[in-house]
Amino acid sequence: MLRLSTITLLLLPWIPAFLCKVTTEEEFTVLEGGSLTIPCHYEPQYVSYVKYWCQGRTKEFCTMLARTDDHRLITTADQKVNIFDDPVQLVLTVTMNDMKEGESGWYMCGVEIGGMWNADDTTFTHIKVIHGMLAVNSRMSGEEGSSVTIECLYSERYRESEKKWCRSGDWRTCLSTGSDGSYDDSSMAIRDDRTGAFTITFKNLQIQDTAWYWCSAGQQKISVHLLVTPQPTTIAPVTSQSFQNLLPAKPITRESWGSHSPMLVSVLVCSSIIFLAIVALLALKFWKLNKSERVPREVEEMKAEFSGYSKDAGEFQNAAVLFLNKDSQDVYMY
């Protein structure tokens, strides 16, 4: 039990470091000659504590750059390092100006707890200072017919270099800034502020503008993709005002119905005549078909009646006329 109490007492100074964290981003990238702002967030328990910013990975080997309790520091725009503690937002803001490539490395944002047995609450970030170019947004999009502005950043050593904007894969499309650092036509404008950034503005986007582009300064260049989306098609809602220009429907009255009655009578008469003609044609065709079937049947019956007189067939050779009486079924010769 005594040993457990001793361990607890030894760890007690470290408990705030686990419960009350200081946080920031893991890495920052900035162009040489530019400025960088780093926010360090802390818990409410640390509002009244001293905060600091130093270069290094451990406090023992960390080069102190700024402290909130160092009243000799005067926050000015041309100062190398500025820090500002905002207890309302619970954030310590660190600004580093005119960054050089040799200043790349690890930096520490810390809250000083104080005392020999008390560890400071700290967080680390890695700053990378590069020379060359960066695009604020490497992928841009805009609606057809609208405008869009692309911003490209360059390091200090390219301040006086010529800036270009080209469609990827086609050098003939390159547009460059003149001696005054600008280019302007009906569809595009380029502006170089000579302080580390130049902008490219498409004034009237077209679908065919969708492509990969690159902006360059000197020998450095960075790719940017532009996507142009078609304008959305909208259908106007149907309202009562939509029918104001339409003529009102004419009501059906006895007079309007009577004006059309002769035409209706003519249609009915013609339809009746055509129907009767079709019926008559069908009846005539059926009668002819029935008659053609009945005549061969009577001929067969006659052949059957004369089959019994085949022996006296020679007597009929001198007969001038042969009459057949259907009622008596007798044969007469003259």
Q: Would you write out the chain's pLDDT as a tens digit for each of its 334 residues?
A: 445 444 443 443 444 444 558 999 999 989 888 889 999 999 999 999 999 999 998 878 899 999 998 866 545 556 889 999 999 999 999 999 989 989 999 999 999 987 666 788 999 999 999 888 888 888 999 999 999 999 999 988 888 888 999 999 888 899 998 778 889 999 999 999 888 889 999 999 999 999 999 999 988 889 999 999 998 876 666 665 555 555 555 554 545 444 445 555 565 666 777 878 787 888 877 777 776 655 555 555 555 554 554 444 444 444 444 444 444 444 444 4
Burial class (CB in 10 A: 0-12, 13-18, 19+), 302: exposed
The pLDDT value given to residue 321: 44
The domain ranges of the chain are 18-130, 133-223
Topology at the third CATH level for domain 133-223: Immunoglobulin-like (2.60.40)
The pLDDT value given to residue 229: 95
Burial class (CB in 10 A: 0-12, 13-18, 19+), 56: middle
User: Is-same-fold flag (18-130; 133-223)?
Assistant: yes
The pLDDT value given to residue 21: 85
The pLDDT value given to residue 3: 53
The pLDDT value given to residue 283: 81
Phi and psi dihedrals of 104, rounded to 5?
A: -65, 145
The pLDDT value given to residue 78: 61
The pLDDT value given to residue 302: 56
The pLDDT value given to residue 77: 55
| Euclidean distance between CA atoms 282 and 279, whole angstroms | 5
Closest CA to 97 of 150, 46, 156, 148: 156
The pLDDT value given to residue 107: 96
Closest CA to 27 of 99, 110, 124, 109: 124
Topology at the third CATH level for domain 18-130: Immunoglobulin-like (2.60.40)
